């Protein structure tokens, strides 16, 4: 199972980004300055945005799931219960209790940012995709939830790509990457 970036070029206005490498099974932590292209790369890896040139090749894995930096961008259900149902996962999945998600008929937009982030994290982890892309997953979480999330990331199978500034919570066995000078570099 691999994701190959073959001479990938991304461009948006004056912004330009290049990558020619691969992600294998395991956890990959990607850091970089604000505006360096982390979210843009995550979106391209998930197949949600076009690349200017090159290819992103999924070898031996299904379609990636992306959890965006701002969870409210992905809400589709009018209640927490219907949001969970929209992901096609059982609300009794233990991931919801691990992340302290209250399953209710509340409107997801009435949840705090941290509650909404935990809900969306529980949904994507319950799907257990081959490839999981997390854009700033630690944002809006308290320390306890950050530690739980790190454990969940460590215990996942497949490829997990985490774009984050909060590197102090990174799993110990992660492969480290940095986006700088318009490119992706393995550290």
- Give the residue ranges of DSSP H helices in the chain: 38-45, 80-86, 94-98, 113-127, 143-154
All structural domains of the chain, each given as residue ranges with its CATH number in brackets, are 25-48+62-186 (3.40.50.300)
Q: Which residue from 178, 176, 180, 172 is spatially nearest to 153, judged by alpha carbons?
A: 172
DSSP string, 156-174: --SEEEEE-S-GGG--TTP
Per annotation, catalytic residue among 59, 136, 168, 180? 136
- 136 is a catalytic site residue: yes
Report the alpha-carbon distance of residue 89 to residue 171 in Å, rounded: 26
One digit per residue, the tens of pLDDT, for the chain of length 187 reads: 999 999 999 887 777 889 999 999 999 999 988 877 788 899 999 999 889 999 999 999 999 999 998 989 999 999 999 999 999 998 889 999 999 999 999 999 999 999 999 999 999 999 999 999 999 999 999 999 999 999 999 999 999 999 998 888 888 899 999 988 888 999 8
């Amino acid at each position: 199972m691999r994701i190959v970036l073959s001479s990938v070029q991304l461009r948006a206005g004056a912004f330009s980004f290049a990558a020619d490498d691969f992600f294998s099974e395991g956890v990959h932590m990607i850091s970089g300055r604000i505006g360096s292209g982390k979210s843009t790369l995550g979106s391209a890896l998930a197949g949600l945005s076009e690349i200017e040139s090159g290819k992103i090749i999924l070898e031996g894995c299904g379609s990636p799931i992306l959890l965006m930096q701002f969870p409210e961008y992905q809400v589709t259900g009018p209640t927490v219960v219907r949001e969970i149902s929209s992901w096609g996962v059982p609300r009794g999945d233990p991931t919801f209790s691990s992340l302290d998600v209250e399953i209710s008929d509340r409107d997801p937009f009435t949840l705090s940012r941290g509650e909404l982030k935990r809900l969306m994290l529980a949904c994507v982890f319950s799907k257990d995709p081959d490839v999981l892309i997390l854009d700033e997953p630690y944002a809006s979480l308290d320390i306890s939830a950050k530690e739980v999330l790190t454990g969940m990331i460590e215990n996942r199978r497949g490829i997990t790509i985490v774009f984050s500034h909060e590197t102090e919570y990174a799993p110990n066995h992660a492969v480290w990457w940095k986006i700088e000078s318009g490119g992706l570099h393995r550290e």
